[in-house]
Amino acid sequence: MGIQMAYEIECSVCGKSAKNLLNYKCPSCGNPLNFEVRMDFEKARIKNSNYSLWRYAYYFPYVSEADIVTLGEGWTPLVKFSDSTFLKLENLNPTGSFKDRGSTILISALHKMVKKANGYISEDSSGNAGASVAAYAARAELKAEIYVPETVSGPKFSQIQFYGAKVVKVSGDRSMVADAAQRTEDKKFYVGHILHPLFRDGIKTLAYEIVEQRNLQPPHCVYVPVSAGTLLLGMIDGFSHLFNSGIIRSMPTIVACQTSQVSPLYHRFKNLSYTPPTTIDSVADALISVNPPLLDLMTKELRRAKGETAIVEENEIINAFKELAKRGFHVEPSSAVAYAALKKQIAEGTVSKKDEIVVVLTGSGLKTALKPEEIRRNQNNRRLEPLS
Ligand SMILES: [Zn+2]
C-alpha cells in the first residue's frame, strides 16, 4: 500500500476520493465533497507564538508555509457576556466576518496553481463571502470575479468593489447567480465558498480556538446562525476532530439557528414540511438560502453530532440585535439570530442558565444597511432588499 495521506477529500454521497485540490464537487457524481483529516489533534503542534488561525497550520498539510496568504485572521476574542455565556467575536476578523477563516485557507492552497495557469478565480456572493474572497485575492495579487444578483446594494457590495474585484451582475434568482459563476470559461477557476471543501476546512479552526481559549474544556452548547451551512459543517468537523483525538471528553451541543422565514434545515431536521416564502424580508439578510445545496449533508452531520435546531421570529431577532448593541456588541442582524435563539431557549427552559454557552457573533454591525430610525419606526412592516 502507498503512504497514508494526512487527509482525504471524499464525495459525501458516492465516497470516491478527489485528488485535485481545485475540485469543488465530486468529479464522478457531482455531489458535495467532504474533507477528512487523517491525523490526531495534538496540543504540541499548536504554534503558540502565532496569534492568528495559522497557529494550527499543521492541520492544513496541503498548504506550504511559503504559500500562506494572510491578513491576520482568527484568534478572535472569546468574551464573557454573563455568568455562563461567552461571545466569540468573529466580527473582528479582517473583513468583518468569520468567512475569512475559509478564504485564507482556500486562497493559500490555490493561488499558485491558478496563477501558474494564468487564470482567475470566480465566486458567487454579494455578501460577507464575496467581500472576504475579494480581500484575500487582492492580498495574493490574484484576479477575482465576484458574481452578484442584479439587485445588489449595501455596504457589503461596496466592500467587494473597494477590494478591486471584478463584479459580474446576474439577473434571476440566487441559483442563477451560482450557475453563472460556475459556467466553464477559459482560465476561470470556480472557488465558490459554499461548495468548496477547503473553504469549509478553514472554519474548523473556530472550534479549535473556542476549546483552546477555554483551557481545553468544551462548552455545553454552541449557538450558530445557519444559512448555506459552511459555518455549521466546519464547526462540527472541528469539534469532532478534537473529540476523536481525545482532546475533549464530550461534544458540545451545536444549535443551528435560523429565521422562521428561511428555515430549511430546521424543518428537515425535525421532519416537518417546509414551503419557502416567495419574498424574504427578514432583517437577517445574510440568511437567505431557502434551498441550500448542502442541506442533506448538514442534516446528516447535525444528527451524527447530536446537535439541535432552533428558529426565531423577526421581533426576537430585532430585540436581540438591539440588546447586543446596547451592551457594546454591534453585530449584523443575521448574527443576532443565534443570540435570539439562546434567549428563547432559556425562556422556554430548554437550556439551563448554568450551562456554559458560546454564541458565535459572525459579522460586523458596520455591514448592515439598517438605520436606527427604521428599527424604532415599525419593527414588523419594514422591507429590505435581500442580500446573499
Ligand atoms: Zn460522488
The DSSP output letter for 275 is -
Instruction: Kindly report the backbone phi and psi dihedral angles of residue 262, in degrees, each rounded to the nearest multiple of 5, phi listed first.
Output: -115, 90
Spacing, Cα 200 to ligand 1 middle (Å)? 18
Q: Which helix (H) or strand (E) holds 322?
A: helix 314-326
**pLDDT tens for the chain, residues 1 to 388:** 445 688 999 999 999 999 899 999 999 999 999 988 899 999 999 999 999 999 999 999 999 999 999 999 999 999 999 999 999 999 999 999 999 999 999 999 999 999 999 999 999 997 999 999 999 999 999 999 999 988 888 899 999 999 999 999 999 888 899 999 999 999 999 999 999 999 999 999 999 999 999 999 999 999 999 999 999 999 999 999 999 999 999 999 999 999 999 999 999 999 999 998 888 888 988 888 888 999 999 999 999 999 999 999 999 999 999 999 999 999 999 999 999 999 999 999 988 888 999 999 999 999 988 888 887 765 544 444 333 3
Tell me the chain's radius of gyration from C-alpha atoms.
Answer: 20
Q: Check residue 1 and give its pLDDT.
A: 41
Spacing, Cα 237 to ligand 1 middle (Å)? 20
Spacing, Cα 296 to ligand 1 middle (Å)? 14
Helix axes 230-244, 99-116, angle to 10 degrees: 100
Question: What distance in Å separates the CA atoms of residue 240 and residue 277, rounded to the nearest whole number?
Answer: 34
Q: Write down the residue that cell numbers 478534537 correspond to.
A: 242
Contact indicator for 127, 385 with CB cutoff of 8 Å:
no
Spacing, Cα 73 to ligand 1 middle (Å)? 32
User: How is residue 142 written as a grid cell?
Assistant: 490574484
Spacing, Cα 36 to ligand 1 middle (Å)? 15
Spacing, Cα 142 to ligand 1 middle (Å)? 30
Spacing, Cα 238 to ligand 1 middle (Å)? 23
Spacing, Cα 196 to ligand 1 middle (Å)? 14
Spacing, Cα 11 to ligand 1 middle (Å)? 5
Spacing, Cα 26 to ligand 1 middle (Å)? 5
Q: Check residue 379 and give its pLDDT.
A: 52
User: How is residue 240 written as a grid cell?
Assistant: 469532532
Spacing, Cα 32 to ligand 1 middle (Å)? 8
Spacing, Cα 18 to ligand 1 middle (Å)? 9
Spacing, Cα 100 to ligand 1 middle (Å)? 28
Spacing, Cα 230 to ligand 1 middle (Å)? 19
Spacing, Cα 39 to ligand 1 middle (Å)? 24
